[in-house]
Structure 1
């Protein structure tokens, strides 16, 4: 049987709402959390049997108007609303069919031109494809800075490094859910979700909630063992010649303790690289 991504999303979002959230009185004992199917159908102005078929995957082609009505009832934010349309095939096709994990030399040169700001490139599944020296230093507490989701949920350093780990975890899963809306059959995404679900109960719980979230400009609150706490903002830029890639640049407020700590971090790791190079030449 074909995957029922749309139905799973509708069920999860329906389960997250209570009658009082939508201004309805609650009658009788509820065997499962959230709104009943009939309640969603009434509020959206659609036939209850039709809505049931949508959840069960027996109806896969709702109109954009029906989806808009369901989005309002389920109180979807803009990211989740767009995700709903993508799952139903009513949004313009934006799948990363031609995405590549190769980072161009020009983009690498651009990142290296920001020595005072951590800069790195990710793909839709949050693989770190390239990073400048300061980004490598920033993520040095991790065993391997290869994938932001794996680092968050499976690396022991994650919960210490991300001081607001719960928010980071929710944002990370929301980003992967959004990526799934663009390309639900992406084999890399399926493999990543499988590994994370198997080894992290927190990831599995958040994944089942079907929350969707795009990149925001929320501050990152980090704790680096070499320089202490860091509060960084960031900007995300789509890479035009490599659909699906994003360039992420972190920055600290000028003159702030975080800016001083970031400068110190760069100096520490630059010194470490010079020492390592000298040692390597000595033994050649």
Structure 2
């Protein structure tokens, strides 16, 4: 690999900062702004780094940022997938998805969106299938997620832990898990250096023969919208479209359970709604 290009990094950060509108990242626009885009201190605040450090980066005299700082800057500047990869390349690092390292946090705009979705369950997952944010309807439908330990909110661990054979005997569940494993393989193919993705795959291969069976199929299929049918212990059978939307520049996805209007599932969701809280549960 080459060397860190400080001048290109400085230019890239300045242009991306100037291209952002304050209201686009949840900040007030105000009327006293003399320059377009965000202020340096605002980017530093959004990224959780010191203003002095960020100024040095824009002046092409800062030290090489860590991978954690690069990820934070990518989120603060709302970089898309290609821009994020470019940011990593500028400092002589291989890009990884947001799944690398510790579990991330959903961007503020996505958390605000979750809070405003009252009619159906919605949640955010990362490439490792960790659920990192959700709305009140998802909390109610899925059994009070906020009371679970972080490892219990990983969709793949939950489904493959212990004896997964009975779950896989249900055709709909097997199809969902097979698609999830194929999606996981696709994520790992896009991010071969991702330590958390690789660690999750190794863990599940060690602990779950059922996961190993599906992994051996070598299917590579990114997650797409599908129809799900489940039986809820309180409101009975449910059928809804599972919509999956990428959150640009984060490696995260917003998953929404959307019923047909005036359907039995829509009515069941309304029965669940009165006992939900108004604020989405925080990420662990």
TM range (shorter): 0.5 to 0.7
The equivalent of 1:126 in structure 2 is 129
The equivalent of 1:235 in structure 2 is 243
2-side partners of 1:127 and 1:96: how far apart? 20
1:131-175 per-residue CA deviation (whole Å, 9 max, x = no partner) reads 111111222188665112122222789939x87111011111011
Local SS of the residue matching 2:226: coil
Could you tell me how far 1:270 is from its partner in structure 2?
4.9
Q: For the Cα contact (< 8 Å) 1:163–1:223, is it kept in 2?
A: no
Q: Is 2:112 aligned against 1:113?
A: no
2-side partners of 1:247 and 1:174: how far apart? 18
Local SS of the residue matching 1:221: strand
1:75-94 per-residue CA deviation (whole Å, 9 max, x = no partner) reads xxxxxxxxxxxxxxxxxxxx
Q: How many residues in Structure 1 have an aligned counterpart in Structure 2?
A: 176
Could you tell me how far 1:219 is from its partner in structure 2?
0.1
Residue 203 of structure 1 is aligned with which of 211, 218, 242? Answer: 211
2-side partners of 1:263 and 1:150: how far apart? 30
Q: For the Cα contact (< 8 Å) 1:121–1:248, is it kept in 2?
A: yes
2-side partners of 1:141 and 1:270: how far apart? 11
2-side partners of 1:220 and 1:201: how far apart? 25
Distance 1:229 1:121, change over 3 A: same
Could you tell me how far 1:269 is from its partner in structure 2?
4.4
| 1:146-185 to 2 correspondences below 5 Å | 146-154=153-161, 159=167, 164-185=172-193
Q: For the Cα contact (< 8 Å) 2:160–2:204, is it kept in 1?
A: yes
2-side partners of 1:195 and 1:98: how far apart? 19
| 1:213-224 to 2 correspondences below 5 Å | 213-224=221-232
2-side partners of 1:178 and 1:113: how far apart? 31
Structure 2 length normalisation: TM-score?
Answer: 0.55
Distance 1:156 1:110, change over 3 A: farther
1:8-35 per-residue CA deviation (whole Å, 9 max, x = no partner) reads xxxxxxxxxxxxxxxxxxxxxxxxxxxx
Distance 1:141 1:209, change over 3 A: farther
1-side partners of 2:121 and 2:246: how far apart? 17
2-side partners of 1:217 and 1:193: how far apart? 23
1-side partners of 2:275 and 2:180: how far apart? 29
The equivalent of 1:99 in structure 2 is 98
Q: Whose Rg is larger?
A: 1
2-side partners of 1:176 and 1:111: how far apart? 24
Q: Which runs of no fewer than 5 residues in structure 1 stay unpaired?
A: 1-94, 274-284
| Structure possessing the higher relative contact order (Cα contacts under 8 Å, 6 or more residues apart) | 2
Q: Is 2:202 aligned against 1:194?
A: yes
1-side partners of 2:187 and 2:175: how far apart? 18
1-side partners of 2:162 and 2:274: how far apart? 25
Distance 1:132 1:156, change over 3 A: farther
**CA RMSD in angstroms, aligned pairs only:** 2.9
Residue 259 of structure 1 is aligned with which of 251, 260, 266? Answer: 266
Q: Which runs of no fewer than 5 residues in structure 2 stay unpaired?
A: 1-93, 280-284
The equivalent of 1:19 in structure 2 is none
